[in-house]
């Protein structure tokens, strides 16, 4: 069953403050109309002709006075829609908008994704022909991490593939992840070394004989473990194995089978 679809009403370009809103509604209606009749799959030239037929006389007049970067752009639907986006948007100082975009730098605590999002927002009002390329360049040039930028530029020189915005972002993310992993490993090793050092300091006094004593510590004469005279808890036989009974903490010469 063939259904005759009614095209959108002509665009109202009458002087008012809501031209931008009217254009957005018309553009959405035209996009839906294209899909409904299968025009979105047709050649650009036919789509532009249909667009001009639907938009009305005032729209055609505006189309005829537009300037184009290349002669063939006037027959490309994406280029045409973008031109009308500019014509119907509230007038802004494009130099100031581009200044804000070009001056935007990545903050120290700002992730790559957050930085890209902000660049996209700022770029929308700059009216660049190739937004993706401009965002890519600004992303690379204004990275907070100088080393990441140097690594990326070195990679660009050696790589034969075109450096797209997506590839640039992924490269920086991978670089930052490797740096973070390296820092974590270094931090872990440092902590382990500190634990070992503390352990050694503690072990230094594990043996009671090694504990520092005051200069007026009492002396033991004829110690029953070593037979010598020494300060208290400084017996040289401590930890030694008796050659006679194989027990610890006394010399063989002091060994007694019945001592405790």
d(CA 169, CA 244): 76
Domain, as residue range, for 230? 214-260
As for how many domains the chain has, the answer is: 3
Average pLDDT, the chain: 83
pTM over 0.85: no
**Cross-strand pairs, 220:** 230
**Of 88, 114, 147, the domain-final residue:** 88
**Of 70, 88, 106, the domain-final residue:** 88
> Is position 171 within any domain?
no
Grade residue 78 by pLDDT with cuts at 50, 70 and 90.
Answer: very high
- In terms of Cβ atoms closer than 10 Å to its own Cβ (0-12, 13-18, 19+), residue 41 is exposed
Query: Which is more confidently placed, 188 or 12?
Result: 12
What would the pLDDT profile of 64-73 be if each residue is shown by its tens digit?
A: 999 998 889 9
**Of 88, 107, 131, the domain-final residue:** 88
What would the pLDDT profile of 83-106 be if each residue is shown by its tens digit?
A: 998 888 766 678 888 999 999 999
Contacts of 55 (CB under 8 A, 6+ apart): 10, 11, 26, 30, 63
Do 154 and 123 touch, CB atoms closer than 8 A?
no
Which pLDDT score, from 0 to 100, does residue 259 have?
A: 47
């Amino acid at each position: 069953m063939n259904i005759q679809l009614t095209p959108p009403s002509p665009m109202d370009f009458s002087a008012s403050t809501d031209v931008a809103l009217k254009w957005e509604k018309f553009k959405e209606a035209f996009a839906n109309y294209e899909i409904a009749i299968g025009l979105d799959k047709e050649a650009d030239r036919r789509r532009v002709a249909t667009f001009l037929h639907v938009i009305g006389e005032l729209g055609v007049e505006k189309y005829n006075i537009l300037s184009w970067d290349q002669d063939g752009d006037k027959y490309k639907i994406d280029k045409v829609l973008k031109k009308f986006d500019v014509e119907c948007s509230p007038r802004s100082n494009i130099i100031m908008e581009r200044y804000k975009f070009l001056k935007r730098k990545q903050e120290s605590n700002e992730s790559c994704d957050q930085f890209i999002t902000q660049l996209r927002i700022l770029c929308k009002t700059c009216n660049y022909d190739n937004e993706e390329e401009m965002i890519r360049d600004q992303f690379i040039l204004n990275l907070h991490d100088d080393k990441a930028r140097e690594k990326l530029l070195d990679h660009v020189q050696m790589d034969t593939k075109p450096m797209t915005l997506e590839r640039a972002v992924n490269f920086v993310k991978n670089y930052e992840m490797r740096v973070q992993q390296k820092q974590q490993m270094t931090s872990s090793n440092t902590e382990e070394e500190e634990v070992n050092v503390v352990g050694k300091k503690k072990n230094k006094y594990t043996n009671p004989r090694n504990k520092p004593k005051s200069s007026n510590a009492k002396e033991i004469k004829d110690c029953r473990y070593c037979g010598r005279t020494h300060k208290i808890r400084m017996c040289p036989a401590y930890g030694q194995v008796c050659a006679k009974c194989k027990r610890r903490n006394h010399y063989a010469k002091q060994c007694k089978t019945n001592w405790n």
